[in-house]
Amino acid sequence: MKQRVPLVTHIFTADPSAHVFNDKIYVYPSHDLEHDGEDDDDGSEYQMEDYHVLSLDNLDADCVDNGEALNMKDIPWVDKQMWAPDCVCKDGKYYLYYPARDKEGIFRIGVAVSDSPVGPFKAEPDYMAGSMSIDPCVLQDDDGRYYMYNGGLWGGQLEKWQTGSFVANPDEIPADAASLGPYFAELSDDMKSFKNPPKMVSIVDENGEPIKAGDEDRRYFEGPWMHKYNGLYYLSYSTGTTHYIVYATSTSPEGPFTYRGRIMEPVIGWTTHHSIIEYHGKWYLFYHDCEVSGGINHRRCVKYTELKYNADGTIQTIFPYDHK
């Protein structure tokens, strides 16, 4: 296995959503574009405008870039910044979910459809009604229902939706207030809309108290991922400013989720964004870092490493540059 080395280096890739379809691994990353612009808290440096789907026949095989699967020029509502996507399969159709800024500069979630896991994908002409913010992740539950989780602070605009409507300059959230969480909604049967308006997920500590906004080691920032292990729902996410990937668990897909610990210590680069899959009886974490580019935040590469559970269902913390 080629763990902890970039899957590809001919393009820069980040934010990997990995899935197993028909016993092959498919990775849906964002595509970092090279430029010399400045970094800022709104993520202006992340100027992505298309998606490439990566695939591996198995973990010993070379990774294949299957070419451009979707470009923003083919999506009427998109203005710029097609960020981290996800993909699911239902009844032989593949649904690619992606965030992008609309013509008013507001992040929305779009959906595009293909008969193939590698595309090309045909985008719906408008974004999903009621969608907001970034980083969609879709869980196919054991009963055949599909749930979307999404949201990100700062450039992801999550703070701007606290009233239920977009507010360009909201008040700062007090450090002792409950932190914001990701949005959650069940998808309709057509996979292109929500059954009900998205609602915010609660993440709590071991005493059932909401994680506070000032608790930057544990509070939600962006990059949600949902998987199940032994019947338990695992919500994992990035803490942003402290650069951890952490997780919380629940017996329900809509939470509340109880914080459990760290999955991965910080990588090289500001962002950290991941996905988790099971493949041939083992579990793997897909993630990105800026090691190849020497720490340039918008020049990232996707990697993977094995993820291990303890007997009590907790996850062993990964130190990304140990035992490479």
Q: Give me the active site residues, please.
A: 15, 222
Calpha distance 63→250 (Å, rounded): 34
Count of CA atoms in the C-beta half-sphere (13 A) of 133: 32
Calpha distance 277→198 (Å, rounded): 25
Edge to edge, the sheet with strand 275-279 lists 275-279, 282-289, 301-307
Contact 236, 210 (CB under 8 A): no
**Structure tokens that stand for 130 in this block:** 């009621």
Residues in the chain: 324
Verify cis geometry, omega within 30 degrees of 0, for the bond prior to 117: no
Calpha distance 85→17 (Å, rounded): 7
Contact 253, 184 (CB under 8 A): yes
